[in-house]
Structure 1
Amino acid sequence: MDSITQAVLGGALQGAVLGRIQGRRSLIYGAALGTLPDLDVVIRYADPVSQMTFHRGFSHSIFVLTGLALLLAWLVAWRWPGRGYTPGRLFLAFWLALVTHPVLDAFTVYGTQLFWPLHLTPESWAAVFIIDPVYTVPLLLAVGYAAIRGLKGRATAMLCLALGFSTLYLGFGLAGRMAAEQRFHLALQAQGIEASEVRAVPIAFNSLIWRVLAKTPDGGYYEGVSSGFDREPPEMLRQSLNLDAAKVLAGAPLHERLRWFTDDWLRYDIIGDSLVVTDLRMGMPGNYSFRFEMARRDAAGQWTVIQPRGWVGGGAASLFDGERLSLIWRRILDQQPPLPLAVWAGHL
């Protein structure tokens, strides 16, 4: 999730565990540890696919971060003896501030390599959007109160209360995701459509409305929108994954890495003389966050795999289209009129 959320989560955790010993400094130390795993963004890679798929890698591994927490606890206990610290309490505070960062990231759809160096599909639980005020604001208020009033009495209780609420909210998001997938699956079955895979992801700053994807065995997929307040079947749009176009990329290492990272939620489009690969997990029809040009066609009609380049229409800005967001938020409570998915898809 965003850096502010990770900082206040780390600050709240260390404040709750070590606040009586470290005072307000615990909030600062915890915020620093809570954002530490994202320092991997300073590493520059030669292409956007590598940049995307190596982020949330080794620095988000629970194995690496557990080792770091052990090292920090030993160093602090050795350097500052007699301060009231116990090695176990120090380790718990540091471990929580560090490890909750990748765990929280795993609750988003991006993909987090929690178990690096094991080559497992990155965790992508898709319970919350990458920015969700309902999750962040209670933690921010609690940390702010503790910073002003100090870590005594009511402040610690408020930190614990905010942490409890934020944890319950993640559970609410997981339940909402499973319900959205079930609604979509039933809607497909009612039309006699068999889906091989179904997954839902939250849309734009809340966990009430979901974008749902469903693959079909014939190489197509359905994309739709479902809200917990719906009383009618969700609107949906059938499209093709264009898997024949992917044959050009057979055996290309970066393409295989992208398939692994996204759990193969990819679509292929020939646009002019470019083969564009789209990560379907993030964005909306016609406006996806991650799109890459991965092959080009020459004048003789021969395809050549190239070093990936970002494609116009991708990037973080695709998540914040004001006109679409207003329609999406209205759609939370009202299914009519349905979202213009086909019109949006035509903008690719």
Structure 2
Amino acid sequence: MDSVTQAALGAAVAGVVAGRKCSPKILLAGAALGTLPDLDVLISYGDPVSDMVKHRGFSHSMLVLLPFSLLLAGFWHKWWPTRFSFRHLWLLIAACLITHPLLDAFTSYGTQLLWPFSVSVAVSSIFIIDPLYTLPLLLMLVAGLIWHQQMARLCRIGLVISSCYLIWSVVALNIIEDRVREQLDGTPLAGSPVFITPTPINTVLWRVVVLDGETYWEGLTSLLDEQPDVDFLAKERGSWLLAEKSVYLNMLESFTHHFVKYEQVGASIKVTDLRLGLAEYLPFQFVLASQNSEGSWAVTDPQRLEGPRVSPKHLPALWLRLLGNQDIDANLCHIKECPKPIHIGV
């Protein structure tokens, strides 16, 4: 999630754990602790693929954060005496640190909660920025700064509301999963890999990607749709053209669970993460091979390409699709002149 959300969550958690001892300083400390794990973005792993794959690694691991919280609590308790017992202080620090990766695990990016073990958790029920999750926390924190005596109680209210919204996101995801599974059953794509994620800043409109060899199917479905069937568009996924796979391609395929597409662009092969983004706006694109003057292909050191930016003219179409207008195609580029649903496998 974004830094504002993580800071707000850390502050609210600190306020709840502190209870009657809560103060503006405690909220500030909680906000700082809540954003601390994301400082790993300052670390360079030497190439753009590693920077992407290894983000949310050791700094988001329960196996690192728990002992780190003990060390930090011990250092804090010794050098900055507080009204908190060591146990209470450790609980506050640990709760602020651990809730950060737990929230991140609900996004589609993936979080290595058990690093160094290669276990990546990605529930994919909430977008990385969602005001409906963040605003209750921020409003209650502001209210707590105004009414100091109710600070802990207001933090608790904000945390309950945001947590209920997070639970709702999982419920909505299950509804969409059931909808897609029922549509694919009995078709050649039954059992194919499926990726489902919410579209930006909501949990009503969802993006669905289905892998089908060198093709992938992409569609949008809203909880407000009158017809539950997803209108899919078939898109070219391509394949890796070289006999040799680089270590970077293996990393990327493992990280994305093979939800990538391969595309020859001039004298380069571009590999794109299909999970993160929307329609044609996929931000994580890498050049992993190039062709020399003799026409031979060879793997290269990865180079990240700048992804296309969302055009403001497409935002109204996204809003209409969210409201259940099924005449908007999956590229969100235009209203279909002759709406004709594409049913997978038919």
Q: Same fold (TM over 0.5)?
A: yes
Once residues 194 and 250 of structure 1 are traced to their aligned partners in structure 2, the CA distance between those partners, rounded to angstroms, is 31
How much has 1:191 moved relative to structure 2?
Answer: 5.6
Quickly say closer, same or farther: Cα 1:55–1:230, change in 2 above 3 A.
Answer: same
Equivalent of 2:289, from 289, 295, 311?
A: 295
Letter in 1 for 2:220: V
Once residues 249 and 10 of structure 1 are traced to their aligned partners in structure 2, the CA distance between those partners, rounded to angstroms, is 48
1:260 paired residue number: 254
How much has 1:146 moved relative to structure 2?
Answer: 1.5
SS in 2 for 1:103: helix
Aligned length: 333
1:142 paired residue number: 140
SS in 2 for 1:283: coil
1:78 paired residue number: 78
What are the equivalent positions in structure 2 for 1:242-261 lying under 5 Å apart?
Answer: 242-243=238-239, 246-248=240-242, 250-261=244-255
Quickly say closer, same or farther: Cα 1:325–1:85, change in 2 above 3 A.
Answer: same
Letter in 2 for 1:209: L
Higher helix share: 1
Decide whether the 8 Å contact of 2:288 with 2:301 is kept in 1.
yes
Equivalent of 1:322, from 287, 312, 323?
A: 312
Deviation per CA, 1:119-148: give whole Å up to 9, x if none: 22x211111111100000010011111123
SS in 1 for 2:114: coil
Query: Is the aligned partner of 1:170 residue 2:166?
Result: yes
Query: Is the aligned partner of 1:98 residue 2:92?
Result: no
2:113 paired residue number: 114
2:190 paired residue number: 194
Q: TM-score scaled to structure 2, two decimals?
A: 0.90
Once residues 293 and 187 of structure 1 are traced to their aligned partners in structure 2, the CA distance between those partners, rounded to angstroms, is 35
Once residues 22 and 165 of structure 1 are traced to their aligned partners in structure 2, the CA distance between those partners, rounded to angstroms, is 20
Unaligned runs of 5+ in 2: 335-346
2:302 paired residue number: 308
CA RMSD of aligned residues (A): 2.0
Letter in 1 for 2:259: W
Letter in 2 for 1:341: N
How much has 1:78 moved relative to structure 2?
Answer: 3.3
Once residues 69 and 5 of structure 2 are traced to their aligned partners in structure 1, the CA distance between those partners, rounded to angstroms, is 20
How much has 1:80 moved relative to structure 2?
Answer: 5.0
Quickly say closer, same or farther: Cα 1:249–1:325, change in 2 above 3 A.
Answer: farther
Quickly say closer, same or farther: Cα 1:29–1:340, change in 2 above 3 A.
Answer: closer
2:32 paired residue number: 32
Once residues 80 and 69 of structure 1 are traced to their aligned partners in structure 2, the CA distance between those partners, rounded to angstroms, is 15
Query: Is the aligned partner of 1:226 residue 2:221?
Result: yes
Once residues 149 and 90 of structure 1 are traced to their aligned partners in structure 2, the CA distance between those partners, rounded to angstroms, is 24
Decide whether the 8 Å contact of 2:127 with 2:202 is kept in 1.
yes
Once residues 206 and 170 of structure 2 are traced to their aligned partners in structure 1, the CA distance between those partners, rounded to angstroms, is 11
Once residues 193 and 262 of structure 1 are traced to their aligned partners in structure 2, the CA distance between those partners, rounded to angstroms, is 20
Letter in 2 for 1:110: Y
2:232 paired residue number: 236
Decide whether the 8 Å contact of 1:10 with 1:98 is kept in 2.
yes
Letter in 1 for 2:24: R
How much has 1:321 moved relative to structure 2?
Answer: 3.4
Equivalent of 1:338, from 328, 332, 345?
A: 328
How much has 1:31 moved relative to structure 2?
Answer: 0.3
How much has 1:183 moved relative to structure 2?
Answer: 1.4
Unaligned runs of 5+ in 1: none
Letter in 2 for 1:35: T
Decide whether the 8 Å contact of 2:22 with 2:151 is kept in 1.
no
How much has 1:250 moved relative to structure 2?
Answer: 3.5
Deviation per CA, 1:209-268: give whole Å up to 9, x if none: 10011123x44321110111112122211123212xx15273411111111211221110
Deviation per CA, 1:90-133: give whole Å up to 9, x if none: 1221111001111111111112111111122x211111111100
Quickly say closer, same or farther: Cα 1:22–1:333, change in 2 above 3 A.
Answer: closer
2:181 paired residue number: 185
SS in 1 for 2:28: helix
Letter in 1 for 2:224: F
SS in 1 for 2:230: coil
Decide whether the 8 Å contact of 1:200 with 1:212 is kept in 2.
yes
How much has 1:336 moved relative to structure 2?
Answer: 3.6
Once residues 302 and 68 of structure 1 are traced to their aligned partners in structure 2, the CA distance between those partners, rounded to angstroms, is 50
Query: Is the aligned partner of 1:11 residue 2:11?
Result: yes
Q: TM-score scaled to structure 1, two decimals?
A: 0.89
1:57 paired residue number: 57
Deviation per CA, 1:51-77: give whole Å up to 9, x if none: 111211111111111111111222333
Query: Is the aligned partner of 1:270 residue 2:260?
Result: no
How much has 1:192 moved relative to structure 2?
Answer: 5.5
